[in-house]
Structure 1
Amino acid sequence: MKDKAMPKEEFHFHTTLRVRWADCDAQGIVYYPVYLTWVEVALSDYCRHLGFRLYHLAELNLFDTVTARAAITYKAPARLDDLVEVYARAARVGNTSITFAYEMYRQGEAPLLAQAEVVYVSYDNKAQRPRRTPEEVREVFSHFEATGNRLPLERFPLFSGALA
């Protein structure tokens, strides 16, 4: 994970979340594990933006992941009722893993609140072991990150049961 913020323009996707009362600790700032929840929401929203429902692919045992590594660096606090923009990108798409980079900002402001990097390993839930990431998933993520454009998922049979 880079210590310095990436230019927002390098991210083709972000989602906005509101800080709720339940997200805050006794000091009135966002409690640190909440950022991991936001990362998971951003991943799900990222996949919906690309046109598919990530967890439906898992239910069909076509593509599922386990988290192999999650790292967060906190830079500044988020507070109750803030709107937080979570930027997400597939920073590395490998044969068996995908590394996502996340950055969080208060809406409309420049100071970075937090950075996260999560390594997801493709997993066969029935066999209970890692497996190769489907080529269709790799192609959809890689194309979006390279161009900012979504591929038409109808041309990939893998996604037929999970279109958003």
Structure 2
Amino acid sequence: MNHRFHTTKRVEFSDTDMAGIVHFSNYFRYMEIAEHDFFRSLGLSVVMDHEGNTISWPRVKCSFEYKQPIRFEQIIDIYIDIEHIGKKSLKYVAYLKHNEQIMAIGHSTIVCCSYDKDGLKSIEIPQHFRECFSQ
């Protein structure tokens, strides 16, 4: 299943090191920003109430493959493709591009959880969310 979502991000000076290159940790922030934008585009949030429960999507696995350095003030196109919708988890890939060139590829696995004062508990992805992801 493929669901392509697109957003953009301008690289801020605070995202870079002394050479003006984006610090590796910020790639994960960019992927998370795109994930939040993706959920919002579907009328969802990564933390929201659903049928009396608070639903959240913690990460259980994240990685990046760095292809080219991203630099200060570049406009980055970030694409999200859903790779797999499981019973309780969602896997997606994020492509960070500049001028149509792939700069980095990130992978993330997030798990649908209910949480309250006693903590997190993984749950099946609610049907409403499945329908939104399958649009």
Relative to the length of structure 1, the TM-score reads 0.73
How many residues are matched? 131
**In structure 1, C-alpha distance between the alignment counterparts of 2:31 and 2:53, rounded to whole Å:** 22
Helix, strand or coil: the match of 1:125? strand
Tell whether 2:27 aligns with 1:35: yes
> Where do 4+ consecutive residues of structure 1 move more than 3 Å?
none
**Corresponding letter in the other structure for 2:39:** C
Q: Is the 8 A contact 2:7 2:37 kept in 1?
A: yes
Residue matched to 1:53 = 45
Residue matched to 1:25 = 17
In the TM superposition, residue 124 of structure 1 has moved relative to its aligned partner by 1.8
Q: Is the 8 A contact 2:55 2:115 kept in 1?
A: no
Residue matched to 2:105 = 115
* 2:133 paired residue among 114, 120, 141: 141
Residue matched to 2:94 = 102
Residues 49-77 of structure 1: per-residue CA shift (max 9 Å, x gap)? 1223333348x634211111001000001
Residue matched to 1:130 = 122
Q: CA RMSD of the aligned region, Å?
A: 1.8
Relative to the length of structure 2, the TM-score reads 0.88
Q: Is the 8 A contact 1:96 1:131 kept in 2?
A: yes
Residues 24-46 of structure 1: per-residue CA shift (max 9 Å, x gap)? 01221000010111111101111
Q: Which has the larger share of helix?
A: 1
Helix, strand or coil: the match of 2:77? strand
**Corresponding letter in the other structure for 1:94:** G
**Corresponding letter in the other structure for 2:75:** L
Matched ranges for 1:79-90 at <5 A:
79-90=71-82
Give unpaired runs (5+ residues) of structure 2: none
- Change in Cα spacing, 1:123 to 1:53, as seen in structure 2 (3 Å) is closer
Give unpaired runs (5+ residues) of structure 1: 1-9, 145-164
Q: Is the 8 A contact 2:3 2:133 kept in 1?
A: no
